[in-house]
């Protein structure tokens, strides 16, 4: 069992919340009748693995806060530092959805096609992806970049749905 991370584009957070309420919390892509355009992944978490791709494209060192985002699901208030009060709290169980800042979307959308392969090779050499072939990562990078371009061109935002 692994952590699922679905990356998708949507018009706004309200549309995402409506879709989650209607689908009993997801998933929203990678199903027979997807709600949004996107890609399902396992183990490509937003902060580390996805964040490393963003850092590589930006040519800056990775840091945990390189991917700026805002939580849009669950809609209940986020628990304090002591964490959720009980194990049934949606903040403890998920799923969780975060909206990436438009700057993250635009960084991905603006990577020149000739630079994608070099970025993928560097991405494959990160600790979390070591041993993964760049040839295996290239389709994922291509889809993420195209998704970001479509979102930018449509005035939409990028999101990540995460479920244990």
Give backbone dihedrals phi and psi of 108, rounded to 5 degrees, phi first.
-65, -45
**CA-based angle 90:93:98, to the nearest 5?**
70
**What does the pLDDT look like over 69-114, one tens digit per residue?**
999 998 887 777 776 777 677 787 889 999 999 999 999 999 999 9
55: containing domain: 4-163
Domains in the chain, number: 1
What CATH number does residue 135 fall under?
Answer: 3.40.1760
Three-state DSSP class for 128?
coil
* The model's pTM: 0.92
**What does the pLDDT look like over 24-41, one tens digit per residue?**
777 888 888 889 999 999
**What does the pLDDT look like over 43-76, one tens digit per residue?**
899 999 999 999 999 999 999 999 999 999 988 8
How far apart CA 69 and CA 51 sit, in angstroms, is: 11
What's residue 76's pLDDT? Answer: 82
How far apart CA 129 and CA 43 sit, in angstroms, is: 10
The answer to whether residues 104 and 69 touch, using CB atoms and an 8 Å cutoff, is: yes
């Amino acid at each position: 069992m692994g952590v699922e991370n679905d990356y998708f584009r949507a018009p706004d957070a309200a549309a995402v919340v409506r879709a989650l309420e209607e689908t009993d919390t997801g998933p929203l892509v990678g199903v027979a009748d997807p709600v949004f355009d996107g890609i399902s992944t396992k183990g490509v978490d937003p902060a580390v693995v996805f964040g490393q791709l963003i850092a590589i494209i930006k040519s800056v060192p990775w840091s945990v806060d390189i991917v700026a985002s805002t939580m849009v699901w669950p809609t209940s208030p986020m628990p304090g530092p002591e964490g959720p009060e009980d194990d049934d709290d949606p903040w403890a169980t998920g799923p969780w959805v975060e909206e990436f800042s438009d700057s993250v979307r635009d960084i991905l959308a603006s990577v020149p096609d000739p630079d994608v392969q070099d970025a993928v090779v560097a991405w494959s050499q990160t600790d979390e992806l070591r041993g993964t072939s760049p040839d295996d990562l290239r389709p994922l990078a291509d889809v993420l970049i195209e998704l970001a371009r479509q979102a930018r061109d449509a005035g939409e935002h990028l999101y990540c749905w995460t479920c244990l």
